[in-house]
């Protein structure tokens, strides 16, 4: 165990307390008022930070300057939860029905709080560190909201850094990749509108479930027949909502899409084909439709130079064997991509070891990572702000 991890290990009990509190009290994206209050109160207890709340609605920026250096970095962690019912029998399981920290954002916020405490006590750096606690990552709203609220104008940084736990990657190892690392995402909702009625007289109805089913099947051909095999894309229809009774034809059906692409050209092509298929399939069954487009996504692109710096700092802090470079890309998405469009920086994965993937109802954040992730943030601050 390296010296900086040993130092952060001393705060394990306190970090575990913070983590379990946030896990018990999850809040949905852009509704995280109590979580934001808890984070701000915890930061205030360290007695060293200038704390600004309400940035982009629920965001928090805590700034700490040491020495006379003029450089500044931003360290970002998210803290929103998912609309998924947790199916774990944990002593600290979610107390909110249908809402759970099943992506590990409670762990991310805890690791940054752990680093915050360490940095406030040691101040072993020369410059300014800004801790960015961001709401609304799951809906791609939080980063744009903070940026639109003047994040980088009000709290200037030379570079910004992010991190995410990933189950299935070796526990405690850091994975870095220059350039494109994560996909853009477009979250759409399509409403197929028919004519409801009795299930025994289908001739008097227009069935949106049949039309919606045809849309689901037709859309499966978009990636396989239109995206070059060398590229990566995926269209997921994660929700199909219609009706409440087996003997009635619903009046409408809702389809919720997640569209992930890695090039601007593929994004435009895939979205265009979805529009075309929805229109033609709905009309062929006599239905009308409405498409509700969500926040446009962005490919997460790491700056090669800042990635090299972060890799060097991580190797010095944790050892060569704990750093994988280049690491794998991932077709999940991240609104940290919007921050990287404004500032240089890099985003890395922290291996979570065996277990269910994030967003699974039985996902469990590996709490052994808490001092490791906190140590990375502390090492990055000390290494970048020498």
Which parts are annotated binding residues for Mn(2+)? 103, 105, 138, 164, 359
Q: Which of 124, 161, 2, 131 is nearest to 386 (CA)?
A: 124
Q: Is 137 a catalytic residue?
A: yes
Any residues with CB less than 8 A from the CB of 251 and at least 6 apart, and which? 193, 194, 195, 196, 208
- Catalytic residue, chosen from 32, 78, 80, 207, is 80
Residue 340: its H or E element: helix 336-342
Strand partners for 140: none
- Confirm if 7 and 118 have CB atoms less than 8 A apart: yes
- Confirm if 249 and 194 have CB atoms less than 8 A apart: yes
- Catalytic residue, chosen from 137, 191, 334, 382, is 137
The span from the CA of 75 to the CA of 64, in Å, is 12
Q: Could you give the angle at which helices 105-122 and 370-384 cross, rounded to 10 degrees?
A: 50
Structure tokens at 271: 């979205």
Q: Is 266 a catalytic residue?
A: no
Any residues with CB less than 8 A from the CB of 154 and at least 6 apart, and which? 52, 55, 61
Structure tokens at 280: 């033609």
Structure tokens at 145: 């909201």
The span from the CA of 31 to the CA of 12, in Å, is 28
Q: Which of 150, 142, 114, 160 is nearest to 302 (CA)?
A: 160
- Confirm if 233 and 184 have CB atoms less than 8 A apart: no
The span from the CA of 63 to the CA of 68, in Å, is 15
3-state SS, one letter per residue, for 174-217:
EECCCEEEEEEEEEEEEEEECECEECCCHHHCECHHHHHHHHHH
Which residue ranges make up the annotated binding site?
103, 105, 138, 164, 359
Q: Which of 1, 8, 105 is nearest to 380 (CA)?
A: 8
Give catalytic residues, as residue numbers.
80, 137
């Amino acid at each position: 165990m390296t010296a900086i991890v040993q130092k952060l290990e001393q705060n394990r009990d306190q970090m575990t307390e913070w983590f379990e509190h946030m896990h018990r009290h999850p809040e949905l994206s852009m509704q995280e008022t109590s979580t934001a209050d808890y984070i701000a109160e915890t930061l205030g207890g360290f007695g060293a930070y200038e704390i600004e709340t309400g940035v982009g609605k629920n965001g928090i920026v805590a700034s700490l300057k040491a020495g006379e250096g003029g450089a500044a970095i931003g360290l970002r962690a998210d803290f929103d939860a998912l609309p998924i019912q947790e199916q774990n029998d944990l002593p600290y399981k979610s107390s909110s029905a249908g809402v759970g920290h099943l992506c590990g954002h409670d762990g991310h916020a805890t690791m940054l709080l752990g680093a915050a405490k360490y940095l406030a006590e040691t101040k072993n750096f020369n410059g300014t560190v800004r801790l960015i606690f961001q709401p609304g990552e799951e809906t791609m709203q939080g980063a744009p909201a903070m940026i639109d609220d003047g994040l980088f104008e009000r709290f200037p940084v030379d570079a910004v850094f992010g991190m995410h736990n990933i189950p299935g990657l070796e526990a405690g190892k850091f994975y870095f990749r220059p350039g494109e690392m994560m996909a853009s995402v477009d979250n759409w909702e399509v409403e197929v509108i028919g004519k409801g009625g009795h299930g025994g007289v289908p001739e008097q109805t227009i069935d949106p479930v049949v039309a919606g089913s045809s849309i689901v099947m037709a859309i499966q051909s978009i990636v396989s027949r239109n995206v070059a095999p060398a590229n990566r894309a995926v269209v997921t229809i994660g929700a199909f909502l219609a009706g409440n009774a087996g003997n009635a034809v619903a009046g409408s059906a809702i389809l919720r899409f997640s569209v992930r692409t890695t090039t601007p050209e593929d994004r435009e092509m895939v979205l265009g084909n979805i529009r075309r298929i929805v229109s033609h399939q709905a009309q062929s069954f006599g239905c009308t439709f409405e498409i509700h487009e969500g926040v446009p996504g962005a490919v997460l692109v790491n700056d090669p130079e800042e990635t090299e710096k972060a890799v060097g700092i991580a190797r010095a802090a944790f050892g060569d064997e704990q750093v994988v470079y280049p690491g794998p890309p991932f077709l999940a998405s991240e609104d940290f991509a919007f921050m990287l469009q404004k500032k240089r920086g890099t985003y890395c994965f922290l291996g979570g070891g065996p277990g269910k993937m994030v967003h699974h109802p039985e996902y469990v954040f590996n709490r052994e990572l808490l001092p490791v992730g906190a140590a990375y943030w502390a090492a990055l601050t000390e290494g970048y702000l020498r």
